């Protein structure tokens, strides 16, 4: 799913859908600047959201598999 899901888009179809969102704090495309807007839009749509900004990470970064594994365990129970 795109990391920029603003209130302009009808996100209600995603209600209850689990989303693991990570955005680099040093993202060269400026996605971190719209993090709060994205989180608010997805939360208002009823998405089961786990979102965070990764400090100093660029647009492309290595996945923290331990964090993702813990989230996957939670959403697959």
| pLDDT by position in tens, the chain (length 77) | 556 666 667 888 889 999 999 999 999 988 899 899 999 999 999 999 999 999 999 988 988 888 899 999 999 98
| Residue 53 vs residues 33, 34, 75: alpha-carbon distances, Å | 10, 11, 20
Indicate the pTM of the whole model. Answer: 0.81
Q: So where are the chain's domains?
A: 18-75
Query: What is the rounded distance in angstroms from the CA atom of residue 29 to the CA atom of residue 31?
Result: 6
Among 56, 59, 71, 64, which residue's Cα sits nearest to residue 19? 71
């Amino acid at each position: 799913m795109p990391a920029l899901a603003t209130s302009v888009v009808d996100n209600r179809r995603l209600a209850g859908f689990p989303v693991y969102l990570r955005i680099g704090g040093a993202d060269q495309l400026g996605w971190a600047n719209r993090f709060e807007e994205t989180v608010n839009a997805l939360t208002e749509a009823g998405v089961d959201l786990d979102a965070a900004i990764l400090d100093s990470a660029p647009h492309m970064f290595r996945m923290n598999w331990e964090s993702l594994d813990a989230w996957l365990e939670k959403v697959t129970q």
